[in-house]
Chains A and B, each alone.
Chain A
Amino acid sequence: MIQYVLRRLLQVIPVFVGTTLLVYYMVFALPGDPIAALFGDRQPNPAVIAALRQQYHLDEPFWVQYGLFLKNLFTFNLGNDFTGQPIAATLGRVFPVTAMLAIEALVIQGVFGVAAGLFAGLRKGKLFDSTVLIASLVVIAIPTFVLGFVLQLVVGVQLGWAKPTVGSDASWGTLLLPAFVLGLVSFAYVLRLTRASVIENMNADYVRTATAKGLSRPRVVLAHILRNSMIPVATYLGANLGALMGGAIVTEGIFNVPGVGQKLYQAILRSEGPTIVAIVSVFVLIFVVANLLVDLLYAWLDPRIRYDK
């Protein structure tokens, strides 16, 4: 197990370095004045430019710049936005809201997706299964931002069941609708994946043997079919965190959720280059670390992994 963790850590390091290097290189090392490019057509005041040159050490050689950028990233020294506010402080304030949103969305896709997938898989070919299969295709086909607008309009405005925009009042309750929008597409994927996995495992030899041992049906389903079907689902949820982050930007934008995604969305609208790079780098960091955690979870779920190779 320790071997496995070490090996995974060794694999994560080059990925993290490579990805941040890529991000950093694209923004700061391509030809042209990066500071001017960051601002696009607008002309910031010289004091801001000077602060940015200082922040990103643009006078140093590239590798030093990159090293300092990494150091800043790990110490959450992310610089200031155009209004002079430290980005790190802003992020610290809005991060809990996004975390709440993400957790709610994860629960929707993880718990309900797995439950519905298990239910459909055990009743393969029956009415519930066929309905869910078609419905999930439709859900997958509707882009998150379309779904967001439609639900905002129908559930929020016309039916008045939820607040159409969250605003400053972010709580588990008010975030439910945005979280539903954010989680729905992945919910459909998780459902389909669980269903396929359950159907495969139902026909596995070890499930037949478990039944032959005299185990009750619920026990066979929970301890053998469901337990083994979790393995691909965990992998998917980890890889899907990236899509969740992208979705958070859109969802928070639509529902005016005061989270990290909304800050990013506003930064895009205002063409605030430094803020965008800082937030994306933090996201990449979270994504890489989260995937490492999922890998460890995966090793716990599937003992064979720990010994392979």
Chain B
Amino acid sequence: MTSNYQADHYVAPIDETPLLATDSVRTDQAPLSLWAEAWRKLRRRPLFIVSALLIVLLVVIALFPGLFTQVAPNDNCDLQFSDGAPTAGHPFGYTFQGCDVFSRVIHGTQASLSVGVLSVIFVLVIGVTLGALAGFFGGWLDAVIARLGDIFFALPLVLGALVITQLPFFKDNKSVWTVVMVIVLLAWPQMARITRGAVMEVRNADFVTAARSLGVSRMGSLLRHVLPNALAPIIVLATMELGVFIVAEATLSFLGIGLPGSVMSWGNDIAAAQPSLRTNPAVLLYPATALSITVLSFIMLGDALRDALDPKSRQR
């Protein structure tokens, strides 16, 4: 590797690249926690703003339907208006039974949101607890929880729900709670899997080992170090699942194994609108649109959160 060619010894003028102090601390910006950083990214995303506003609106509708319609959804049903076109005060027209569609859409919000929110809460409690324990402690606990999850995972949601709802208890007590129970029973393994994976990714991090060698107990390091760092995928999945569970409730109600007919819900209304689909599609389209917009809001929120919480996009 020798050549008779001889090179110059070149030195750049020092003022062109002045030496910086090695490794100086930046002091010009406000401190930025990961959550603050995610929030800064989020609030600039139109996807997040739109979905957050929609969700706030939906929550208000669910809590105070009376603010949006004065018409009681069931009392004023009159068969003379059956499948009637919109009139003043009844902007969406009438159902086959002659009920006010707008009022039913507004009042149906509560059932859908309650099922979604309650299911997600219970799925979080069960899935995160089992997933975190399995991922953190490993060994036989992991094996047992993983197999248990596999068993429920092998029952697809609609199929599993079909069997469960054949049980006398569920047949006799149809309500928001039975639907929530069915969904939670069949959907927790997904959350447990995600949590387990996220926890396993963090549990061997040096900062966890460092905490243990400081004298922090195993449970303490799980709660204070591992879980907070595994939260991002859990939050994203929970948000998306809120939308998915609302669809599940509507699908089950549509199949006649979800909410009882007495509970006002979009799924029930869509099922009831089926016979008059060709003559008066509006009856189906309004609750269907409400349902889709609700689900879209949560899916969009989840998507925006995923981007904002993505560790790969973090600055180091």
Contacts and interface: CB of A to CB of B under 8 A. Distances in A.
Instruction: Find out whether A and B make contact in their complex, taking CB atoms under 8 A apart as touching.
Output: yes
B66 interface: no
Interface residues of B, number: 45
A14 B163 contact: no
A245 B159 contact: yes
B292 A288 contact: no
A273 interface: yes
Contacts of B218: none
A297 interface: no
Interface string B154-186: 111111101110111101000000000000000
B79 interface: no
B299 interface: yes
A284 B167 contact: no
B256 interface: yes
A140 B251 CA distance: 14
A246 B156 contact: yes
Contact of A246 (B159, B256, B295): B159
A48 to B, nearest CB: 17
A246 B158 contact: yes
Interface string A121-164: 00000000000000001101111111001101100010000000
B210 interface: no
Nearest to A38: B166
Range of interface residues on A (Cβ < 8 Å): 35 or more
Contacts of B113: none
B278 A23 contact: no
A245 B156 contact: yes
Contact of B147 (A18, A138, A243, A277): A18
Interface in B249-287: 250-251, 254-257, 270, 274, 277-278, 281, 284-285
B247 interface: yes
Given A283-B156, A287-B154, A146 B168 contact: no
Nearest to A285: B154
Interface in A228-281: 239, 241-243, 245-247, 249-250, 253, 264-265, 268-269, 273, 276-277, 280
Nearest to B284: A149
A103 B7 CA distance: 69
Please name the 10 residue pairs, one residue from A and one from B, whose CB atoms are nearest each other, closest first: A242-B156, A246-B158, A141-B296, A18-B151, A146-B288, A141-B295, A19-B154, A15-B150, A143-B247, A37-B168
Given A19-B155, A138-B296, 10 more contacts: A40-B171, A145-B270, A149-B284, A150-B288, A242-B156, A242-B159, A243-B157, A249-B162, A268-B257, A276-B166
